[in-house]
Amino acid sequence: MSEWALKRFWKDATVEPSGPGFAVKLDGRGVKTPAKTPLVVPTEGLADAVAAEWRAQEEHVNPMTMPFTRMSNSALDKVATQRAEVADMLAAYGDSDLLCYRADRPAGLVERQNESWDPLLDWASETYGARLEPRIGVMHHPQPSEALARLAQEVHGQDAFQLAAFHDLVSMSGSLVLALAVIRGHREAEDAWRLSRIDETWQEEQWGIDEEAAEIAALKRNEFMHAARFHMLSSV
């Protein structure tokens, strides 16, 4: 990715309409992805976020400070070229959704899971006609094919930019239902992240916090929040 090795050569980053989307330009020159695809995003809001990252660069470009640019690159170079396959992969999470795998003890954890996760399964049933059934233990038990097909239809309705963000929401939470609840405005991203970590929180309450694990979780939380923001900006 030679673009990342370059020193800053531009004075300003701007946003201009380009076809059905918006292009980010550096002193009038269009930015390209690592695969040399023009960096054109679907909404002005997302383009503004990308342009702000380029404006914030100092002497050298630091991709680690450019999450909107990096996810846009992924959407164009990776997801757009295999959108159906990515959607299939994410929809498959419904068959092993975190919310469906329950503990049988201790009673406090069982109660917390049921109270927190049952309403989300009810929401998916009411919203998509997709009833996923909870299981006890960690062994895989297939979910109803009709329910999975309805959830898959919702996933396939997203474009490449939405799917790039949706990928992180699903994979980091382990739950297709939680990710759908976030992008449909049923749950705030912060609440969804908390709900995805009920088991870990329970363990921390019993045995204390592992500092290294907590640092890793904090990084993942930030990425989850960013993915929610990216999805929102790419959809309005």
State the Cα–Cα distance between residues 144 and 131, nearest whole angstrom.
8
Q: What is the DSSP letter of 129?
A: S
- Kindly report the backbone phi and psi dihedral angles of residue 25, in degrees, each rounded to the nearest multiple of 5, phi listed first: -130, 145
Pairing of strands 13-18, 21-26: antiparallel
Q: What is the pLDDT of residues 124-166, one digit of tens each?
A: 999 999 999 999 999 999 999 999 999 999 999 999 999 999 9
- Please give the pLDDT value at position 7: 86
- Please give the pLDDT value at position 79: 98
State the Cα–Cα distance between residues 94 and 156, nearest whole angstrom.
13
Residues of the chain with pLDDT under 50: 1-4
> Residue 117 is which amino acid?
W
- Please give the pLDDT value at position 5: 58
State the Cα–Cα distance between residues 83 and 91, nearest whole angstrom.
12
DSSP H or E stretch at residue 17: strand 13-18
| Nearest C-alpha neighbor of 22 from the set 42, 52, 38 | 42
Q: Which domains does the chain have, with CATH numbers?
A: 2-65 (3.30.2180.10), 82-235 (1.10.3580.10)
Q: What is the pLDDT of residues 13-22, one digit of tens each?
A: 999 999 999 9
Q: What is the DSSP string of 188-232?
A: -HHHHHHHHTHHHHHHHHHH---HHHHHHHHHHHHHHHHHHHHHH
